């Protein structure tokens, strides 16, 4: 297994010779990020609401009694995960998860009923995470296409499609460029 923050610095030929397989894990797209934000927030809320009961029965005795009579808090409908998904473009799923975990402490989950979650609470924690810029991401995609042979495959497909298009144009013409068909009338 090999990892690098700058794989483009190596020789493509050497990568192909050394590694048997190459896996590409793209950053999540917009719909995936919407689902990721919702699932991560909900899982963190559930984690804090269930683990908070076990931490210390002496300190949290009142909290335990309060939680035992109701279900744990849920993501408020007013929380716009679509906006969070838009601003988190270029961030990995791990960066999004860490931003949620840094924002939603056990105390914050406990206070959700009095003070509902808002999108801006996550922005500071997300800003502290590492993002990939579009040009770096494009370089990495091109490098991946070269190492995996995807670039050659795509070029061959484009060439074949271009050849088919030219072949279809040439099919109905004779050597002089006119249409075949001969004389009209009697045989």
| Section 75-104 average pLDDT | 91
Residue 75 has φ and ψ, to the nearest 5°, of -65, 125
Domain boundaries defined on the chain: 27-127, 134-168
Report the distance separating Cα 69 and Cα 114, nearest Å: 17
Residue 109 has pLDDT above 60, yes or no: yes
Please answer whether residues 157 and 139 qualify as being in contact, where contact means their C-beta atoms are separated by less than 8 angstroms: no
pLDDT, one tens digit per residue, over 53-72 is 433 333 344 444 444 455 65
CATH number of 27-127: 1.10.8
**Between the CA atoms of 86, 91, 94 and 99, what dihedral angle is there, to the nearest 10 degrees?**
-60
| Section 101-121 average pLDDT | 90
pLDDT at 27: 84
Residue 98, Cβ neighbours under 10 Å: how many?
18
Please answer whether residues 90 and 134 qualify as being in contact, where contact means their C-beta atoms are separated by less than 8 angstroms: yes
């Amino acid at each position: 297994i090999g990892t690098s923050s700058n794989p483009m610095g190596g020789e493509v030929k050497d990568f192909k010779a050394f590694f048997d397989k190459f896996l590409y894990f793209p950053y999540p797209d917009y719909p995936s990020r919407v689902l990721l934000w919702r699932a991560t927030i909900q899982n963190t809320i559930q984690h804090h609401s269930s683990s908070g009961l076990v931490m210390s029965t002496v300190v949290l005795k009142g909290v335990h009694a309060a939680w035992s009579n109701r279900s744990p808090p849920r993501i408020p409908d007013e929380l716009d995960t679509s906006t969070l998904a838009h601003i988190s473009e270029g961030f990995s799923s791990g960066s999004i998860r860490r931003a949620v975990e840094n924002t939603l402490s056990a105390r914050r989950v406990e206070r959700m009923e009095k003070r509902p979650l808002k999108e801006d609470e996550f922005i500071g924690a997300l800003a502290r995470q590492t993002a990939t810029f579009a040009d770096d991401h494009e370089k990495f995609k091109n490098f991946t296409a070269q190492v995996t042979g995807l670039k050659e495959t795509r070029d061959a497909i484009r060439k074949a499609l271009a050849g088919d298009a030219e072949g279809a144009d040439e099919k109905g013409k004779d050597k002089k460029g006119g249409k075949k068909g001969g004389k009209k009338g009697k045989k």
